[in-house]
Amino acid sequence: MKYDLSKFNISKVSNLIDENQIIDRLNLILGLGSVNETDLSIDIKISKVDEFGIITLKGNKNSEYLSVEVVIQIPKIRNLAEDDLFVYMTGEPPEQKTFIFYEDTKTEDIFEYLQDKKGWIEINIKDISFEVTTSPTVHEPDIGIGKITAVNNLKVGFTYIKTRSEEEQHIEVPVQIKLKELTKVILDPIDLGRIDVLDIDKDTEAKMLTSLKDVLMTKTQNNHESENVCFDELHIKLVDRYNFEVVANEHSEVYSGAIEGSYFIEYDLVNYQKSLLKVC
């Protein structure tokens, strides 16, 4: 009695399957074992990002083992242009977050994200690649661009490419500068020494504090101008009459943390001593 191919199915089928693998799977069925390419016709139409693939198996009329036919669907391949591909939910209660590409992001980071957060468990690390094509800079942080390429087009593709070669199936993503810890940017101790009282506006307490911060920032910037530090991303926090901190702005896209500095000032600001003792 011939085997009815309409009962045959392939679990976890993909574009990677070939005719020999199909025949091997048929020969695992009890009662078969000697099936070969003369027993059936095999037609494989691979899937794409927007189209299912189809495997059509049809038993040949003179086959000793097989009859009828079966159509098996191949799932669509993964799409790099999938909506919100790099947006995910995490935490309890769930919170929406975005995967951020930095200048030191590796292909491994993206691969792990796609497997863990998006369920792309059938891909491996060689199926995609990532490179930074335009590096962001401290002064131009918005120009960074990275490219994710679908290396294995049997498993990963890109919706909108219809006429280009397979090798060009990629998407571009914004790349940010990795936040740098200030203690690793400004390496030398910040000791500004004497601050000239004449440089400080002493009309009111508020003006004096603001003016002192401005003087400290300007002098710090002058002392470290050769280190290519983006001081627009930083601000001064007064600690007391002799100490201050250079601190990364709350939403800085360049720096994190703070670094300590010291200074001293003439005693004719003694009337403002209480204010300077505050943490500003």
Rounded distance between C-alpha atoms, residue 30 and residue 180, angstroms: 63
Whether pTM > 0.85 for this model: the answer is no
pLDDT of residue 174: 95
CA contacts within 13 A on the Cβ side of 19:
13
HSE, side-chain direction, 13 A CA sphere, residue 49: 19
pLDDT above 50 for 219: yes
Q: Quick one: pLDDT at residue 243?
A: 95
Tokens of 179: 């936040």
Burial-class residue 48 by CB neighbours within 10 Å (0-12, 13-18, 19+): middle
Q: What is the pLDDT of residues 30-67, one digit of tens each?
A: 888 899 999 999 999 999 999 999 999 999 999 999 99
Q: Which residue has the higher pLDDT, 127 or 279?
A: 127
| Adjacent-strand bridge partners of 275 | none
Kindly state the average pLDDT of the residues 94-119. 95
Which one of 90-94, 161-165, 210-214, 276-280 scores highest in mean pLDDT? Answer: 210-214
| CA-CA-CA-CA torsion sign (151, 155, 161, 163) | positive
Q: What is the pLDDT of residues 171-188, one digit of tens each?
A: 999 998 888 899 988 988
State residue 49's pLDDT score: 93
Residue 86 tokens, joined: 């790099």
The mean pLDDT of the chain is 88
pLDDT band at 137 (very low <50, low <70, confident <90, very high): confident
Rounded percentage of the chain residues whose pLDDT exceeds 70: 91
pLDDT of residue 277: 53
Strand partners, 33: none
For residue 171, give both structure tokens: 């998407």
pLDDT tier at 273 (50, 70, 90 boundaries)? low
Burial class (CB in 10 A: 0-12, 13-18, 19+), 98: exposed
Which pLDDT value is given to residue 144?
92
- The share of the chain scoring above pLDDT 90, in percent, equals 65
User: Which pLDDT does position 278 carry in this prediction?
Assistant: 52
Distance (Å, whole) CA 5 – CA 2: 9
145 or 167, which is more confident = 145
